[in-house]
A and B are shown apart, each in its own frame.
Chain A
Amino acid sequence: MDEKISRLINMAVSQINAGMVIIDSDRNIIFWNRFMQIHSGIAEGDIEGKNLFELFPDLKGSGIEKKIDSVFLLKNLAFTSWEYRPYLFKFANTHSVIGAEEWMQQDCTFSPLIDEAGTVTHICLSVFDSTNTATYQNKLLRASSSLIKQRNKLATINQKLEEAQNQLLQSEKMAAVGQLAAGVAHEINNPVGYVNSNISTLESYLDELMQMLAAYEACEPALDESSELTKAMMLTKETIDLDYLKEDLVNLIKESKEGLDRVKKILQDLKDFSHVDESDWQFSDLHKGLDSTLNVVSNEIKYKAEVVKHYGDIPEIKCLSSQINQVFMNLLVNAAHAIESHGTITITTNIEGEGISIAIEDTGSGIPEDKLPRIFEPFFTTKPVGSGTGLGLSLSYNIIHKHDGKITVKSEPGKGTKFQVWLPHNPPEQPIQ
C-alpha cells in the first residue's frame, strides 16, 4: 500500500474517537490506541505484551474469555452492550459535569483479524463511548417506571374506591331495609292496636252474652214443650249446635288474641332490629339483639335448624346495635344456608378479656380450605347467581372492625363452621356511616 496512505491510516486509528485494542492469540495486548491511553492513563509502552486478563483481572470469569475463544474459533463477531454490561474497562465518565452515570458506558465489539490462510491470528477490540445514550435511556427508563408505578397506584385506589362504594351501597341498602321495616311496623301498629282493643271489648261483650244465654237456658224447664215456639227454639238450638258454638267462640277469641300478641311481638322485633329510634353508640344488651334478629330471620331458619342458645352472664356493651344486629343476621342466614337438610345452630356468649365473645356455630357443609381466606372479600360468594351478593361477610367484617372488634372463622368441611365475634366493652366511638 502507498506509504502515505498507510501513515494516514495509522494516524486515523490513533486519533479515532473510540478505543481500539489488538490482542494476539495468547490474549496479550499488542496495540492500544490513543483513546485507550487517555482514558486508562496507561501509556502504550506500559501495555505492550501484557496479558489482557492480568492487566484487567475484573474481566476474568465474566464470560469474556469465551467471547474471545468464540471469535478465534468461529471467526464471528462478539459484542458487549452497556445495557447488560455497563463497561468493559472502568473509565471515568466522559460526561462528568452533567450526567448520572459514574463510569463511561461502553458498547464493545470483538472482531477477528484473519491472515491469508484464513486463520484468526488476532482480535481487534473496539470500544465505543455510549454514556450519552445510556444517560438518556436510563432517564427515560426511570421516568417510565415511575409512570407505571403511579398508574398502578391509581388503579389500586380506583379499585378501593369501587369496593368502598359497594360497601356503602350495601349498608345503605340495609339501612333502607331497616327504615322500611320500622315504617311498616309503625303503620301496622295502628290497625293492630284497634283490632286488639276491639277484640278485648268483643271478649267482654261475649262474656256478657254468654251470661245472658245461660239465664235463658235456665228458663227452659219452665217452657211449654208442646208450644210451637218452644219446638222452633229447640230445633234451632240443635241445628246450630249451641254447645259446640259456645265452646268454640271462647277458643276463637283466645286464639285471635294469641295471634295478635304474636303480631305485636314481631312488630317490636322489627323495631328493635332496625333501631330507628336509637341509631347511636349506646350500651345495649346483645342477647336482646340476638333474640330479635332470630325472630326476624326465623323463616329462614326454623325449617332448617334447631337453635341452641348458651347465653352467658354478660354485661351490656357500647355499640351501634342496629349494625351489630346486621352482623348477627348475616352470620345466622349464612349458617342456615350452609345446612342442607337439618342441623343445629349454636349461639354461645361469654365474657372474654375486656369484652364479649359471641360464637355462632353451625353443623353445615363447612368451607373448603382454599376458599377460607377469601370469604371476607367483597363479592366472594359460592351461591348461585342472584341468590348471594357476597357482601354479607365483607360488610360484617367492616362493622366489627369499626367497633374495634375481631371476627374469626374456623371451619371443617363436612362438619361445620364456627364464626367467633369479639367486641370490646367500651370502644372509642367512630363516626356512624
Chain B
Amino acid sequence: MMQIKEQFNEDRRDALQEVVNIAMGQAGDSLAKLFSTFVELSIPKFHLCDVTELNQELSKNAAYAEKITILRQPFSGQLRGEGIAIFNNNGVSELANLMGYEGEVTSNNEREMLLDVCSILIGACLNGVTSQLEIALSYTAPTIISQNTTVNEFFNPESIQWRYAMIMEIRLTLEQYDFKSNVLLFLSEDSFPPLIDKLDQMLEEI
C-alpha cells in the first residue's frame, strides 16, 4: 500500500486531478444539454484504499446510510474496473419523464431509465478522462446489482476480488428533481502502471 501511495506522487496526483477536473467540466456541460436542466457535479475525490477499508470509507458518507439502488457497469481495455452508480430513490419518476418515457412509468421503465442514467454518468465521467489521456476503453451493458440495500450490505470484502483499488467519487445533483447520485469509479490494481505511464507522458509534454 505504501508503495502504491508513493507511486501516485504529488505531481502525478495533481496531473490526474487536472485531467479529471477538465473531464467533469465537459461532462457537466453535456449532461446539462441532455437533461436541459442545471446539473451540479462535485469536484471528484480520490481515495486509494485497501479493499478491507472500503466499507468503512464508504459508510462515512451520510448519503449512503439510506436505502439505495446500486447499479454497475464494468469497463475494460487499457484500464480495467467498474463504475458503480448509487441512486437515492427520490425523484425517479420525474427523471423518467425527463428521459423521455411518456405516460405511466412502469417499474421496468424505471429500471431501464436508471440503467440509462448509470451508463450516461459513467460514460460522461470516463470519456473525458480517456480522451485526454488517449486511452481506449470498452464498456459492458450496465446491470442493477440491488435495490433497497445499504452500502454495508453490499460492499463486503469477500465479494471484491482486488486487494487495492483507486476510487474516484463524484456526486451529481439535479436540484430541480431532488435527484442525487453518486458515481464511484473503481480502478483495479493492474490499471495503475498504464495510468501512471500515461500521466508521465502528459507531464513530459508540458
Q: Name A residues whose Cβ lies closer than 8 Å to a Cβ of B.
A: 61-67, 69-70, 73-81, 83-85, 107, 109, 118
Are B127 and A63 touching (Cβ within 8 A)?
no
Are A66 and B123 touching (Cβ within 8 A)?
no
Are B27 and A74 touching (Cβ within 8 A)?
yes
Interface residues of B in 28-49 (CB under 8 A from A): 30-31, 33-34
* Number of residues on chain B facing chain A (CB within 8 A): 28
Residue among B33, B101, B141 with the most chain A CB within 10 A? B141
Are A74 and B127 touching (Cβ within 8 A)?
yes
Q: How far is the CA of A6 from the CA of B131 in the complex (A)?
A: 27
Interface residues of B in 1-41 (CB under 8 A from A): 27, 30-31, 33-34
Q: How far is the CA of A61 from the CA of B96 in the complex (A)?
A: 11
Are A66 and B116 touching (Cβ within 8 A)?
yes
Could you give 21 example pairs across A and B, Cβ below 8 Å?
A: A61-B100, A61-B102, A62-B100, A62-B102, A63-B99, A63-B109, A63-B113, A66-B34, A70-B123, A74-B127, A75-B123, A76-B119, A76-B120, A76-B123, A76-B127, A76-B139, A81-B112, A81-B141, A83-B108, A84-B111, A84-B115
B124 within 8 A of A: yes
Task: Tell me the minimal C-beta distance from A110 to chain B in angstroms.
Answer: 10
Are A80 and B112 touching (Cβ within 8 A)?
yes
Are B120 and A74 touching (Cβ within 8 A)?
yes
Are B112 and A85 touching (Cβ within 8 A)?
yes
B142 within 8 A of A: yes
Q: How far is the CA of A81 from the CA of B143 in the complex (A)?
A: 9
Are B139 and A77 touching (Cβ within 8 A)?
yes
- Chain A residues with Cβ below 8 Å from B115 are 79, 81, 84
Are B112 and A84 touching (Cβ within 8 A)?
yes
- Chain B residues with Cβ below 8 Å from A70 are 34, 116, 120, 123
Q: How far is the CA of A62 from the CA of B99 in the complex (A)?
A: 9
Are B123 and A74 touching (Cβ within 8 A)?
yes
- Chain B residues with Cβ below 8 Å from A83 are 108
Interface residues of B in 75-114 (CB under 8 A from A): 96, 99-103, 108-109, 111-113
Are A66 and B99 touching (Cβ within 8 A)?
yes
Task: Tell me the minimal C-beta distance from B138 to chain A in angstroms.
Answer: 9
Task: Tell me the minimal C-beta distance from A66 to chain B in angstroms.
Answer: 4
- Chain A residues with Cβ below 8 Å from B31 are 74
Task: Tell me the minimal C-beta distance from A64 to chain B in angstroms.
Answer: 7
Q: Knowing A61-B100, A61-B103 are in contact, say whether A78-B116 is a contact too (CB < 8 A).
A: yes
Are A74 and B34 touching (Cβ within 8 A)?
yes
Task: Tell me the minimal C-beta distance from B36 to chain A in angstroms.
Answer: 10
Q: How far is the CA of A76 from the CA of B115 in the complex (A)?
A: 13
Q: Knowing A70-B34, A74-B127 are in contact, say whether A63-B116 is a contact too (CB < 8 A).
A: yes
Which residue from B30, B96, B109, B142 sits with its C-beta under 8 Å from A79?
B142
Task: Tell me the minimal C-beta distance from A119 to chain B in angstroms.
Answer: 12
- Chain B residues with Cβ below 8 Å from A63 are 96, 99-101, 109, 112-113, 116
Task: Tell me the minimal C-beta distance from A419 to chain B in angstroms.
Answer: 43
Task: Tell me the minimal C-beta distance from B22 to chain A in angstroms.
Answer: 14
- Chain B residues with Cβ below 8 Å from A65 are 100
Residue among A78, A84, A85, A109 with the most chain B CB within 10 A? A84
